[in-house]
Amino acid sequence: MTTTKRTRTAVIVTATLLFAVLPSQARADDFGKIVHSIESNYHVHRNYRFVMGFAGFMVKCAGGFAGVRGFKGALFENQRLSFAPDSTLDEVVQSAGDHGWQPVVKSYSRRHNEHTYIYARQEGKDLKVLVVNVEPSEAVVIQVKINPDKLAKFIEENEGGRHEARLDSMTLR
Amino acid sequence: MRRTLRNTRWRGFATAAALMCATLPSVTRGVAQGVPQGAKLQLNNLEKLSDKASEVNDVTLEGALLELASKFMEADHDPDTAQVKEVLKGLKGIYVKNFEFDEPDQYSQADVDAIRAQLAAPGWTRIVESHSRRSREHDEIYVMKQGDNIAGLAILVAEARELTVVNIVGNIDVNKLSLLGGHFGIPDEDKDHHKRKHKNDDAYPARDKDKDKDKDKDKDKDKDKDKDKDKDQAAAEKEDTDDDN
């Protein structure tokens, strides 16, 4: 391995680590704000932070996969999220609407203490989708940037493949 | 000479203006007459119910997202999905607001009347109304017609513990509309009917319940009598066979 290659690898690894370890506040976008709000209100911490960060980095490096051009995710698993005031999270998520996010789905159940929000924002040909789901024992915040045409094409191709495979298996029988 | 020229110009201008006024599209005149420009309802007044409701479902599907949903369905080879996609083609927006309450009468009549007032505007026609005092349910379906086409649809379901408003904007084929049930937060009529039947048991008067119980008891008694008869018959037949032996 040459020195240039080593340096390049070191830079990529450092960038990945930085991206994963950087506090959400530093990346002051709506995704970061919502994640920080969950962490501070419910006194919980993200799981698989490095894996999620790495996944996002890989999607960015690959220049998109299946129409997905950007990915940010935060998982909170097996944690107690039921004792925090809901209003703060509502306010934070709904303030996302002020930043051009269009609310698509707002669903919550006081009976089961579940909240689901889906927001979307168009950015040229791409569509950014923000999904927030909070349940008593887990929470998920995902932000993806997708190209609808490419995603539909990817699904069509794979569905087509699956359809053909199904037909093949039927003819084999 | 100048005067006649000016007169001719003015006459020409006046004729052109009169012709323009006569041929102006009906839509432009509609604005002045207060005819609604779209079939989209203002449902913001229902937002306050979110604080009281135990379950809230709010779906807003329009523009790029509706296109995206249509594209996803394009990829699906299921025939039902293909038909849903056909329905989606002409649509501009789907808006659903659903509130479920633990206690009855959590929303006021004024909340519902605010929506009904919008549906009383010219263009909207009520095609279905169903009212049940027993289950305290009032269902209404409105359509907005533009020529021969349907440009919008509104479904209003007001129950003692639930309020649902569905607003669909765009060219709608009524024959295919039922296909949207169960998709995009729109209630599935078949499933919902079953669910409502169970839920309305609470609103069902106790008197009627007792009547039903009595009916059931009578039926049970009749069944018991039939069983006893069968037993007696079987015993008699047994005795006969024993005697023969």
Tens-place pLDDT, residues B15-73: 443 333 333 333 333 333 333 457 899 999 998 998 899 999 999 988 778 877 777 66
**Structural domain spans, chain B:** 44-199, 205-245
Q: What are phi and psi of A147, to 5 degrees?
A: -100, 105
Q: Kindly state whether B82 is in contact with chain A, defined as any CB-CB distance less than 8 angstroms.
A: no
Q: Kindly state whether B68 is in contact with chain A, defined as any CB-CB distance less than 8 angstroms.
A: yes
Question: Could you tell me which residues come within 8 angstroms of residue A41 by beta carbon, excluding any fewer than 6 positions away?
Answer: A84, A85, A88, A89
- Answer whether B55 sits within 8 Å of A102, measured CB to CB: no
Cα distances from B117 to residues A143, B20, B30, B41, in angstroms, run 39, 34, 19, 10
* Top-confidence residue, B118 or A89: B118
- Answer whether B65 sits within 8 Å of A110, measured CB to CB: no
Which pLDDT belongs to residue B101? 94
- Choose the most confident range, by mean pLDDT, from A6-10, A34-38, A88-92, A137-141: A137-141
Q: Side chain identity at B197, as an amino acid letter?
A: K
Which pLDDT belongs to residue B11? 47
B64-122 pLDDT, tens digit each: 788 777 776 665 666 667 777 777 778 899 999 999 999 998 999 999 999 999 999 99
- Answer whether B65 sits within 8 Å of A104, measured CB to CB: yes
Average pLDDT of span A69-75: 89
CB A59 within 8 A of CB A145: no
Task: Determine the Cα–Cα distance for residues A52 and B62; give it in Å rounded to an integer.
Answer: 30
Q: How many residue pairs bridge chain A and chain B with CB atoms within 8 Å of each other? A: 57
Task: Determine the Cα–Cα distance for residues B179 and B155; give it in Å rounded to an integer.
Answer: 15
Task: Determine the Cα–Cα distance for residues A79 and A42; give it in Å rounded to an integer.
Answer: 9
Q: Kindly state whether B53 is in contact with chain A, defined as any CB-CB distance less than 8 angstroms.
A: yes
Please name the residue that has the structure tokens 């889906």: A118
Looking at the complex, report in whole angstroms how far the Cα of residue A158 sits from the nearest Cα belonging to chain B: 9
How many contiguous H segments (helices) and E segments (strands) does chain A have?
A: 5, 5
For B47-195, list the strands marked E by DSSP.
55-62, 91-100, 124-132, 137-146, 149-158, 162-172
DSSP label at residue A120: E
Q: Which residues of chain B from 203 to 232 reach within 8 Å of chain A, CB to CB?
A: none
To the nearest whole percent, how much of chain B has pLDDT over 90? 32
Task: Determine the Cα–Cα distance for residues A37 and A31; give it in Å rounded to an integer.
Answer: 10
Task: Determine the Cα–Cα distance for residues A107 and B8; give it in Å rounded to an integer.
Answer: 68
List the structure tokens of A76: 């909170």
Which pLDDT belongs to residue B137? 92
User: How does residue A15 score in pLDDT terms, banded at 50, 70 and 90?
Assistant: low
- What is the SS3 assignment for B228? helix
Q: Which residue among B56, B60, B71 places its CB closest to the CB of A104?
A: B60
Q: Which residue among B54, B63, B65 places its CB closest to the CB of A110?
A: B54
Which region among A96-105, A149-158, B131-140, B231-240 has the lowest average model confidence (pLDDT)? B231-240
Residue B84: how many CA atoms within 13 Å on its side-chain side?
22
**B181-194: b (≥16 Cβ within 10 Å) or e:** ebbbbbbeeeebee
Looking at the complex, report in whole angstroms how far the Cα of residue A108 sits from the nearest Cα belonging to chain B: 5
Size of chain B in residues: 245
- Element holding B229 (H helix, E strand): helix B206-244
Give the residue from A29, B57, A107 showing the smallest Cα distance to A37. A29
* Top-confidence residue, B20 or A65: A65
List the structure tokens of B126: 């009520």
- Answer whether B74 sits within 8 Å of A104, measured CB to CB: no
- Answer whether B185 sits within 8 Å of A106, measured CB to CB: no
* Top-confidence residue, A126 or B198: A126
Give the residue from A127, A120, A125 showing the smallest Cα distance to A101. A120
Greatest alpha-carbon span in chain A: 61
User: How does residue B9 score in pLDDT terms, banded at 50, 70 and 90?
Assistant: very low
Cα distances from A121 to residues A116, B28, B167, in angstroms, run 17, 32, 22
Q: Side chain identity at A78, as an amino acid letter?
A: N
Using a cut of 0.90, tell me whether the model's pTM lies above it.
Answer: no
Residue A88 pLDDT exceeds 50? yes
- Answer whether A108 sits within 8 Å of B55, measured CB to CB: yes
Handedness of CA B195, B39, B71, A150 (dihedral sign): negative
Q: Which residue among B58, B71, B74 places its CB closest to the CB of A107?
A: B58
Interface residue ranges in chain A relative to chain B, Cβ cutoff 8 Å: 102-111, 120, 122, 127, 148-149, 151-152, 155-156, 159-160, 163
DSSP label at residue A80: -
Q: State whether ipTM is beyond 0.85.
A: no
- Choose the most confident range, by mean pLDDT, from A5-9, A85-89, B129-133, B217-221: B129-133
List the structure tokens of A110: 């006081």
Burial label for A4, CB within 10 Å (0-12, 13-18, 19+), is exposed
Task: Determine the Cα–Cα distance for residues A143 and A70; give it in Å rounded to an integer.
Answer: 8
